[in-house]
Amino acid sequence: MAVKGSFNAFEMARTQFDRTAERIGLEQAARDLLRSPLREYHFLIPVRMDDGTSRVFQGFRCQHNDARGPCKGGIRFHPQETIDTVRALSMWMTWKCAVADLPLGGGKGGVVCDPHDLSAREQEQICRGWVRQIARNVGPVTDVPAPDVMTNTQHMLWMLDEYERIHGGHYPGLITGKPVGMGGSLGRKEATGYGAVYTLREALKELGIRPEDSTASMQGFGNVSQYAAKLFREMGGTVLCVSCWDQKDQTSYTFRKKDGIDVDRLMGITDRFGGIDKTKAPDLGYEVQGGEAWLSEEADILFPCALENQITGANVGSIHKRVKIIVEGANGPTTPEADEAIHARGIFMIPDFLANAGGVTCSYFEQVQSNMNYFWTEEDVLARLDQKMTHAFSAVSEVARKRKLYMRDAAYMLAVTRVAQACRDRGWI
């Protein structure tokens, strides 16, 4: 899903931070320290292409803050990647780790490229080139990357292999999102989607709504949406529609089924990037609608699970009056202008760095298992994930109730307070 217009994610992340800093009376030194990444790296990755020509790709890595522990965050492959997006995502990762109470800080990386147009060998060369440029600045006790948009377990394994070649040893704790059997954790592929639904379950309890009486509309049909939809259905809920980006048409579509989508059957006509085949969907009983139809669906719950800047001041009015809860599976999907309108309407917001913290939580579990070379069962991983997500939701909800705050504001207050205190305890400020 394309990023819209001239939206700048880093400006949005700073706006959110500034508002929180003002609310909690944060001292100027802490504001200056936390408003920008501690370190960032820009580099070029030359690649010999399959046709014999050479291309040079732009790569990034931002380390926002490591006061609470090693930086942690994914690596995106996206043709519209920018350093400001990476900066924002690294900042959001700091808050996400803090709100989940993980001993980690925020990092993020990216490469300006489109995997749709690259062979497996070309993607491998980008992965290995990325590591060669940053190998001295990442590692199991400094900065631990992971998959993100359009990267996967294979990309992570190529990166790990290159790092181990450079450093001459086995360092499975360098990177997470690895294949199971190669240092990866069971439960990782479900983690972000399941984590979002664990927080939704707690919100439904708080609002006195039974899962079996609720319906949902989802944006995106990648890993997060797929597993969120599966678990939501298992809880008794109904997913009315999903939307996805169509690479061929360079636009998005919404796929609606009034009696609820069947995730497994729909995945049968879905590519590895989460793109649904719109020519085959009608044969499975789906209506194919415009890309923003998911937002106006008559549902109780909205799951924006694509990219940032999707619910804006321009389209927030399209949200159906029935909507009671928004669960942000994506990072930064709602702009501050839209947030104000959502808050005014009394919609219960489960903000991104709480709702989608299941991914980094399970990545932390993978890091722990890799470093100690002992691996847990899937049941154990998911039970620990449920416990962590439930505890994080309860902590944010308690702040929101006690201080009569919007959930996003409460989550920010909790996260920024924890990170600032860690900086003070270290004597940085």
Catalytic residue list = 108
Q: What is the CA radius of gyration of the chain?
A: 20
CA–CA gap between residue 68 and residue 421 (Å, rounded): 9
Q: Which long-range contacts (CB under 8 A, 24 or more apart) does 39-44 make?
A: 39/63, 39/137, 40/83, 40/86, 40/87, 41/133, 41/134, 41/137, 42/83, 43/133, 43/134, 44/133
Distance, CA of 14 to CA of 37 (rounded, Å): 11
Decide if 281 contacts 316 (C-beta within 8 A).
no
Sign of CA dihedral 341, 346, 350, 351: positive
> What angle do helix axes 357-372 and 378-403 make, rounded to 10 degrees?
140
Write down the H helix ranges in 25-142.
28-34, 83-99, 120-134
- The span from the CA of 402 to the CA of 396, in Å, is 10
Beta strand 301-304 with 325-327: parallel, antiparallel or unpaired?
parallel
Q: What is the dihedral of CA 192, 281, 215, 237, to 10 degrees?
A: -60
Amino acid at 11: E
Rounded distance between C-alpha atoms, residue 188 and residue 179, angstroms: 10
User: Kind and range of the H or E element at 40?
Assistant: strand 39-48
Query: Between the CA of residue 97 and those of 91, 262, 304, 404, what are the distances in Å?
Result: 10, 33, 20, 24
Q: Quick check: 323 and 301 in contact, CB under 8 A?
A: yes
Virtual torsion, Cα 403, 407, 412, 415, nearest 10 deg = 90
CB 84 within 8 A of CB 9: yes
Beta strand 215-219 with 143-147 is unpaired
Q: Is 214 helix (H, G, I), strand (E, B) or coil?
A: coil
